[in-house]
Amino acid sequence: MKHFGNALGAALWALVLSWHLNATAQAPAAPASASASAAEKTQASAPLQNIYGRQHLSLNGRWNYIVDPYETGYYNYRREPFDATPSGKGGFYDDLGPPQNGELVEYNFDLSPTLRTPGDWNSQDEKLVFYEGTVWMRRVFNAEPKEDKRYFLYFGAVNYESHVYLNGKKLGTHKGGFTPFQFDVSGKLNKGRNVVVVKVDNMRHQDEIPTVNTDWWNYGGITRDVLLAEVPATHIADYKVQLAKGDLKRIQGYVQLAGDQPRQSVSVTIPAAGISTTVQADASGRAAIDIDIDHAAGKLRYWSPETPILYDVEIAAGSDTVKDRVGLRTIETRGQDILLNGKPIFLRGISLHDENPLAQGRLRGEGDMRMMLQWARELNANFVRLAHYPHSERMSRLADEMGLLLWAEVPVYWTISWTNPDTYRNAERQLTDMVVRDKNRASVIVWSIGNETPVGEPRNVFMGRLSDAVRGLDDTRLVAAALEVHREGQRVVVEDPLAGKLDLASFNEYAGWYWSDPEDMLNYRFDIKVNKPVVVSEFGADALGGHHGDATTRWTEEYQERLYQNQFKLLTAIPGLRGMTPWILADFRSPRRPHPQYQDFWNRKGLISDTGQKKKAFHTLKRFYDGMQQKYR
Ligand code: GCB
């Protein structure tokens, strides 16, 4: 599929594609198979940078849907995909209205119910709570496409696999439930009525990212915004405007143009900081930015949780202009210290899922996100781990605004198919798309390449390559993974060959819950064989909100509270401790948690219950963070 519809765009796409193909070539087992390359061609491309800053039509709203567990709308009775037959017709994407001349039509979008979009289907239709499979979604809209513009159909996230059709023709497919994608629909829009149909399939598969086994709800559907963006024929496709690695006096980045007229001069201006530069894009539309800002250093205010200053940045090239709000800060490590803008910081963190504990489903928009981040602030946190997959772009923009540092992660979780080259390629693609989307967010300081992946040769190779890939994309942030621990006698050992490739010694440990108990755990000590800043990425215990008893009784708030108190004793004995993100801010739903009395399909490790009540441990952690804040002033 053509992505920018011209030679230059094709060159840019070739570049993006080559990341993926390189990844495959380097992946542990066989090189890319012919079928994988064919599949790649129909895949969506990475979206325009700062989609919300572009002229767009929102396609959010009510979408009609048809539940299709047997995929009748996709395969004929010989199980051949309709869209691969010579006519390409026969699928639900034809969106046939009322039958003409008595023909047989067994579906009807107009008469089908609607889902609020963005939104998962599980929380909107009782019969879909546990559903995994295909649902067809349809939206009708009007457009007035202009000759001299280009149009992109953008999806913030669709879980998991989508086939997208516009006016009965297939645009392509996308895999990955948490990253954005777009299709070039220039020249494909009707003047007036248009129909977009998406086949969404959230079935889990061993070889996918994530794999079949996770501890969160597999919400299906179009879970983030759908937009139709309009840009000039030659336009700003991507840009990066950030401080150079560890350098408070230099902005480094690039602007990437796409279109027929790539050799444009490009201006980048930050008026409030008195920063302005003009650079020339080359034949591939690329213009490097390298600005010495020493002259502005006196009046520049660096972004930090205490001073979340965002500057208006304006990028202009030809007839295209994009405005963004960008914070300027550095993040690096020195020995066992983490330095934000050159000063040591302690990461007072908390983990959270993209789920609203009060109203079932994924976070529905900025209001829900603000609620979650506000709770984090009430904990006196300065750091949030967005587990275990990319959260929405709105979330990282809100964190920029509210002054919360972020750990951003891809769902390389537990037992991935380490030797499958397609699986590797998929993981790297999701990682790439996350980095491409959020590289201008000051809040994001950590790219996490995975969670609790079991040490072993194929896994070490796979994860090592992901770490190289992410460093190749962005050298201005820390690279981490939530590693595992093992016990040797009374020692809790952190030793993982992957750690050498990471910037943090980050690990999950469940002393007092999955092993030991809140008293006995004090007999253990950590033996961390990695000389890097230690950020404990998880610990915790389940407590049913409002359930009380003594501190030795599981599921009580008292047990959870004691476990937190004793964790602080254990962890503060680690000399290199520089942060933590306990598990987890709020209770969340999980199909793995069926205990009828305490769980009822909820993971109860939240510090806040499903009614929004703060459990005892919430206050315990806040007190600890108040103390750490004093220490790191
Ligand atoms: C973990 C996982 C997290 C789970 C948590 C738990 O180690 O990283 O996804 O939800 O433990 O509650 O068991």
Segment 356-372, tens digit of pLDDT: 999 989 999 999 999 99
pLDDT at 218 over 60: yes
Residue 354 alpha carbon to ligand 1 centre in Å: 15
At 43 the pLDDT is 58
Condensed to tens digits (0 to 9), the pLDDT of residues 238-267 reads 999 999 999 999 999 999 999 999 999 999
Ligand 1 pocket check for 215: Cβ under 6 Å:
yes
The pLDDT mean for the chain works out to 93
| Residue with tokens 């959270």, as numbered in its chain | 352
Condensed to tens digits (0 to 9), the pLDDT of residues 405-423 reads 999 999 999 999 999 999 9
Ligand 1 pocket check for 614: Cβ under 6 Å:
no
357 vs 378: CA distance, rounded Å: 17
Within 8 A by CB and 6+ apart from 561, the residues are 543, 551, 615, 616, 617, 620
* Closest residue by Cα to residue 447 from 483, 398, 406, 484: 406
pLDDT band at 34 (very low <50, low <70, confident <90, very high): very low
Neighbours of 124 (CB within 10 A): 18
pLDDT at 354 over 60: yes
pLDDT at 37 over 60: no
Ligand 1 pocket check for 120: Cβ under 6 Å:
no
* Closest residue by Cα to residue 587 from 602, 574, 601: 602
Ligand 1 pocket check for 508: Cβ under 6 Å:
yes
At 297 the pLDDT is 67
C-alpha torsion 250→253→255→256, nearest 10 = 160
Measuring CA to CA, how many Å separate 4 from each of 45, 153, 279? 10, 13, 23
pLDDT at 522 over 80: yes
Q: What's the mean pLDDT in 515-537?
A: 97
560 vs 603: CA distance, rounded Å: 13
pLDDT at 588 over 80: yes
582 vs 383: CA distance, rounded Å: 11
What's the token pair of residue 384?
């949030």
316 vs 322: CA distance, rounded Å: 6
pLDDT band at 511 (very low <50, low <70, confident <90, very high): very high
CB 128 within 8 A of CB 22: no
pLDDT band at 294 (very low <50, low <70, confident <90, very high): confident
517 vs 553: CA distance, rounded Å: 10
Ligand 1 pocket check for 201: Cβ under 6 Å:
no
pLDDT band at 298 (very low <50, low <70, confident <90, very high): confident
What's the token pair of residue 621?
């952690």
Q: Residue 239 forms beta bridges with which residues? A: 255
Q: Which of 215, 448, 453 is the best mutation target for the ligand 1 pocket, counting ligand atoms within 8 Å of the beta carbon and taking the most?
A: 215
Condensed to tens digits (0 to 9), the pLDDT of residues 374-394 reads 999 999 999 999 999 999 999
What is the SS3 assignment for 320? strand
CB 90 within 8 A of CB 78: no
620 vs 379: CA distance, rounded Å: 9
At 3 the pLDDT is 32
At 28 the pLDDT is 31
- State which ligand 1 atom lies nearest to the alpha carbon of 508: 7
Q: What's the mean pLDDT in 579-599?
A: 98
Ligand 1 pocket check for 451: Cβ under 6 Å:
yes
pLDDT at 403 over 70: yes
Provide the strand spans (E) within 190-305.
192-201, 221-222, 226-232, 235-243, 250-258, 265-270, 275-280, 286-292
At 29 the pLDDT is 31
What's the token pair of residue 350?
């908390």
Q: What's the mean pLDDT in 294-315?
A: 92
pLDDT band at 2 (very low <50, low <70, confident <90, very high): very low
Neighbours of 489 (CB within 10 A): 9
All domains of the chain, ordered by start, with CATH?
Answer: 42-232 (2.60.120.260), 234-329 (2.60.40.10), 335-632 (3.20.20.80)
If one compares 298 and 360, the residue with the highest pLDDT of the two is 360
Q: What's the mean pLDDT in 290-306?
A: 89
Q: Which of 355, 583, 584, 592 is the best mutation target for the ligand 1 pocket, counting ligand atoms within 8 Å of the beta carbon and taking the most?
A: 583
pLDDT band at 18 (very low <50, low <70, confident <90, very high): very low
Condensed to tens digits (0 to 9), the pLDDT of residues 545-583 reads 999 999 999 999 999 999 999 999 999 999 999 999 999
CA 365 from centre of chain = 15
What is the SS3 assignment for 131? coil
Which of these ranges, 18-32, 312-326, 371-385, 452-466, has the smallest mean pLDDT?
A: 18-32
Residue 599 alpha carbon to ligand 1 centre in Å: 14
Measuring CA to CA, how many Å separate 296 from each of 268, 274, 283, 331, 446? 15, 7, 32, 20, 27
What is the SS3 assignment for 198? strand
135 vs 202: CA distance, rounded Å: 9
At 80 the pLDDT is 96
User: HEC string of 156-191?
Assistant: CCEECEEEEEECCEEEEEEECCCCCEEEECCCCCCC
If one compares 332 and 14, the residue with the highest pLDDT of the two is 332
| Residue with tokens 């004691």, as numbered in its chain | 562
Q: Which of 603, 604, 607 is the best mutation target for the ligand 1 pocket, counting ligand atoms within 8 Å of the beta carbon and taking the most?
A: 603
Condensed to tens digits (0 to 9), the pLDDT of residues 313-348 reads 999 999 999 999 999 999 999 999 999 999 999 999
C-alpha torsion 181→183→184→189, nearest 10 = -130
What's the token pair of residue 171?
């645009």
Q: Residue 383 forms beta bridges with which residues? A: 349, 405
Q: What's the mean pLDDT in 173-198?
A: 98
Nearest CA, atom 9, ligand 1? 215
Ligand 1 pocket check for 448: Cβ under 6 Å:
no
